[in-house]
Amino acid sequence: MGVLESKVLKGFVRVCDDGWNQGWHERNGGNLTYRMTKEEVEECKAEFTYDKPWVNMGVKAENLAGEYFMSTGTGKYFRNMSLAPEENICILEINEAGDSYRIVWGLVNGGGPTSEFPSHFLNHSVKVAETNGAARVIYHAHPTNIIAMTFVLPLTDSAFSKVLWQSMTECPVVFPKGVGVVEWMIPGGAEIALKTSELMKKYDAVVWAHHGLFVMGNDFDSAFGLMHTVEKSAEIYVRMLSMGMPMLQTIPEERLADVAEAYGGKLAEDLL
Ligand code: 2HA
Ligand code: ZN
């Protein structure tokens, strides 16, 4: 079976289509990376070529040496992914030092992986260590309401976590650890990558002020679901503020931990 017929590519492209349909990916906004399993690499390997040059990433993660990643291409549009995956997506091999990649499949008309690959790569490294290898997906999108919130709330982990937990009852269950917040920074480089990966040691979702959201997941469903849940909660909060009526009631702060606990989770109460 070839890459285009593989289940993993279909799952990858489905996230891109779903994100586009949610309105989170204007123009070339957003990016997605997936760390392939050994079995998936074996399944696709017949189509890999090893003649492209190694590219140094400016960041290093020894625990990702020799891994293979599927990545959206830099400058590519999410709305086009499903039309021509081989033009818009690539598979990368990481070298033995864990500091360079080479393209082994895809991007047939040229190009490279997402400009945010350094951020994705360091976040993968943090999450692989934390989850003992279970974590596979890093997803970045530009959801409208979470971005809007970064103009009116203090840019702190506690302010965002509390508002998001209180705006929809599912939230303390879905992300009991809360969310991290990175102040406005220039996207695409090592600096924002390091800052984000520091926060990813504590959280599975990190807000980039005036830009978007980064999430991790063990699989496509959990990464997409986390993005969707955070943005849905942000949307409810923004709509509530937009009604021009005073807030009469909300989920009691002192009960947030009980919601998480009812579903087996533990709320990061230090954020309250
Ligand atoms: O891929 O979203 O953060 C474009 C971006 C950069
Ligand atoms: Zn972005």
Q: How far apart are CA 169 and CA 157, in angstroms?
A: 19
Distance of CA 246 from the midpoint of ligand 1 (Å) = 36
Q: Could you tell me if the CB of 31 is within 6 A of ligand 1?
A: yes
Q: Which ligand is the nearest neighbour of the Cα of 29? A: 1
Q: Are 80 and 36 in contact (CB under 8 A)?
A: no
Q: State the pLDDT confidence band at 151, using cuts at 50, 70 and 90.
A: very high
- Phi, psi of 110, rounded to the nearest 5 degrees: 95, 175
* Minimum CA distance residue for ligand 1 atom 4: 29
| Intrachain domains 1-115 and 122-272 with the same fold | yes
Q: Which helix (H) or strand (E) holds 41?
A: helix 38-44
Q: Please, which pLDDT band fits residue 44 given cuts at 50, 70 and 90?
A: very high
| The domain over range 1-115 is classified in CATH as 3.40.225.10 | yes
- Regarding the beta carbon of 114 and ligand 1, being less than 6 Å apart is answered yes
Atom of ligand 1 minimally distant from the CA of 72: 1
How many other CB atoms are there within 10 angstroms of residue 197's CB atom?
23
Residues 6+ apart with CB under 8 A from 205: 175, 179, 180, 213, 214, 215, 216, 226, 227, 230
Distance of CA 23 to the CA centre of its chain: 16
Catalytic residue selected from 116, 183, 191, 253: 116
> Tens digits of per-residue pLDDT, 47-101?
999 999 999 999 999 999 999 999 999 999 999 999 999 999 999 999 999 999 9
Spatial contact of 204 and 197, defined as CB atoms under 8 Å apart: no
Q: Can you give the pLDDT at residue 5?
A: 96
CATH class in words for 122-272 = alpha beta
Residue 34 scores a pLDDT above 90: yes
In the block, tokens 């989770």 appear at 265
- Spacing, Cα 142 to ligand 1 middle (Å): 8
- pLDDT-derived band at 190, boundaries 50, 70, 90: confident
Which ligand 1 atom lies nearest to the CA of residue 30? 2
Cα(first)–Cα(last) distance of the chain, in Å?
51
Q: Is 115 in the pocket of ligand 1 (CB under 6 A)?
A: yes
Place of tokens 């009991």: 176
C-beta of 29 in contact with ligand 1 (< 6 A): yes
Q: Could you give the dihedral angle defined by the CA atoms of residues 260, 265, 270 and 272, in that order, rounded to the nearest 10 degrees?
A: -10
Whole-angstrom distance, CA of residue 205 vs CA of residue 196: 10
**Distance between CA atoms of residues 38 and 111, nearest Å:** 25
Q: Is the CB of 166 under 6 A from ligand 1?
A: no
Active site residue 116: yes
**Residues across the chain:** 272
CA 240 – ligand 2 centroid, Å: 26
- Is residue 96 packed enough to be buried (19+ CB in 10 Å), middle (13-18) or exposed (0-12)? exposed
Tens of pLDDT, residues 213-243: 999 999 999 999 999 999 999 999 999 999 9
- The single-letter code of the amino acid at 86 is E
* Beta-strand pair 180-182/205-208: parallel
Distance (Å) from CA 214 to ligand 1 centroid: 11
d(C-alpha 39, C-alpha 83), whole Å: 26
Give the Å distance between the CA of 204 and the centre of ligand 2: 17
Please give the backbone phi and psi of residue 103, each rounded to the nearest 5 degrees, phi first.
Answer: -80, 125
Domain limits, the chain = 1-115, 122-272
pTM of the prediction?
0.97
Ligand 1 pocket mutation pick from 90, 116, 119 by most atoms within 8 angstroms of CB: 116
| pLDDT tens-digit series, residues 112-131 | 999 999 889 999 999 999 99
Tell me what the mean pLDDT of segment 100-107 comes to: 98
